[in-house]
Structure 1
Amino acid sequence: MEKKVSVIIPAFNEEERIGETVRASFKIPGVKEVLVVDDGSTDNTYQEAAKAGARVIKLTQNRGKGKAIEAGAQEFTGDFVVLLDGDLGSSAAWAEKLLNPLLSGEADMVIARFGKARKKGGVGLVKKLTRWGLKLFTGQVIDAVLSGQRAFTRESFLALLPLSPGYALEFGMTVDALKKGYRIVEVPVEMTHRETGRDLKGFLHRGKQFRDILKEIFKRKFTGE
């Protein structure tokens, strides 16, 4: 029997690219449903996603990426789950590569490793923090800890709920997966989405990432969670 793949896309004010992202997601072999969780958008994200064929879950207020994914986790029906960002556009089709290690039984979770950034970003502090934190809790090293583009078996995905808050989402998910003994594989992809540059907005974004991940490390270290 053919395995069914569900795609969950948390989206906040993504009307410009969500339709293209949904259509590209349906091109992935095995994808039978695309769930877009509209995280309290104030634009036409809901309409554009629905027009492209997605089943849309509407949250009445912005609750953050983690809560949006958890809402999607209550509704998906697939044997495998793919998490994608709403701004990937046509490059979302690259998620097909993430499914291969799952189908072959090689992995329980697969992380997309993006290529070199198209524009200069930060100085690497957030990446260094996540790698240090991952080594602290698991003794392992993974390059793309911050990547939000991932694929899971149904079992491994549900076992990682609830998710860490804020920008610690991907870090917490990776730590929990390794501590539970799940096998993680990284796969290089040519996905593209909005990148943060070396401007005020970019530095504020990375500052929030650093803050949330550091808080998560302290919480896990001193509460044993």
Structure 2
Amino acid sequence: MISDDKLSIVFPAYNEEASIARVVKRTREIKPRAEIIVVDDGSNDRTALEAASEGAKVVRHPYNKGNGAAVKSGIRTATREAVLLLDADGQHSPEDIDRLLEHMGQYDLVIGARDFSGQAGLHRGFANWAYNSLASYLVEMKIPDLTSGFRCFKREKVLEFIHLLPNGYSYPTTTTMSFIKSGYNVKFVPIKVHKRAKGSKSKIRIFRDGIRFINIILKIITLFNPIKIFLPIAAMWLLLGFLYGLGNVVLRGNIPNGAVLLLSMGIIFFLVGLISEQIAALRFERIGQVDTQLLEIISHELLTGEQVGVAREDG
């Protein structure tokens, strides 16, 4: 388990004056030696003042940038080995923190997974089920809760993907899929959630942000494993072309141009998928080689005391 003096707890907050002081106070009582950071994302109420009154380190955005932007600010501000994210609206229980921390060390990312009863309404629960199912297929791993904001990860690991995190509400999706597809150890721990504090409202809009979630899922999987996207599309076009052509051969004795076009589309999608897969593999192989070079230089400097300059260029 990660000790308190190696833990930073980050609360992204926007207009959460109704709950932030109580949540920070309870968290400090449970984890008195942890670094507690509240990122006020351009609130127009007393969120920052309420958080500061309970001893939290407050980072303020001059205007509202989005939940993901607040999370990125919190990660950059954190100074400890592990970073734990908690919602500021009181839904997550600080008492569950140790349930996640006990798995840190063996795992690089631990996520508090809500059950269906913990979803905010039937429509939200169904939408999350759809996201979880799509993501599980794409990463070939069972994902019980893709969008939970209650999670803990090693700071050095999440910094590898921080440039991928969107400014909106899709950072849980991005971090979860990025960690899994990069081969890091990911653990889901069942948790219960509470009702939001009175006066606190969800900032997520099911249709607007739902489309963004799906877009993020497809972007991440295209970055890490594009064949999972292109292969089913190619198979669909090939199957349609084959059935259309076979039907016309049986009924009319010829192969129509439409069948040839469908088959050609299938072949094109398959070849694009193969090329994308090779580009993705080369990109991560290049990054791995640069990381190995950096480790060798650091080891050399530690052993000899000499300083060696190197310019890193991320692909």
- Name the TM-score class by shorter chain: 0.7 to 0.9
* CA apart distance, 1:166: 2.2
For residue 111 of structure 1, what is the aligned residue in structure 2? Answer: 111
Instruction: Pick the structure with more strand per residue.
Output: 1
Aligned: 1:21 with 2:43? no
CA distance in 2, matches of 1:114, 1:220: 23
Stretch deviating more after TM superposition (74-83 or 37-46): 74-83
Q: Label 1:49 to 1:32 Cα distance change in 2 as closer, same or farther (>3 A).
A: same
Aligned: 1:72 with 2:68? no
- 5+ residue gaps, structure 1, are 196-200
Tell me the percent identity. 30
Q: SS in structure 2 opposite 1:167?
A: coil
So what's the TM-score if we normalise by structure 2? 0.62
Q: Label 1:81 to 1:220 Cα distance change in 2 as closer, same or farther (>3 A).
A: closer
One-letter identity of the residue aligned with 1:60: P
So what's the TM-score if we normalise by structure 1? 0.85
CA distance in 2, matches of 1:171, 1:90: 18
Q: Which has the higher contact order (CA 8 A, sep 6+)?
A: 1
- 5+ residue gaps, structure 2, are 227-279, 281-315
* CA apart distance, 1:217: 3.3
One-letter identity of the residue aligned with 1:151: C
Aligned residue-pair number:
217
Contact 2:10 / 2:38 at 8 angstroms: preserved in 1?
A: yes
After TM superposition, the structure 1 = structure 2 runs for residues 41-190 of structure 1, keeping only pairs within 5 Å, are 41-88=43-90, 91-102=93-104, 105-115=105-115, 116-117=117-118, 120-122=121-123, 124-162=125-163, 163-190=165-192
Deviations 1:186-222 (A, max 9, x none): 1122332429xxxxx98x8221231111222343466
Deviations 1:170-189 (A, max 9, x none): 11111101011111111122
Deviations 1:37-66 (A, max 9, x none): 000000000000000110000100000011
Q: Label 1:40 to 1:117 Cα distance change in 2 as closer, same or farther (>3 A).
A: same
What is the root-mean-square deviation of aligned Cα atoms in Å? 2.7
* CA apart distance, 1:91: 2.2
* CA apart distance, 1:71: 0.9
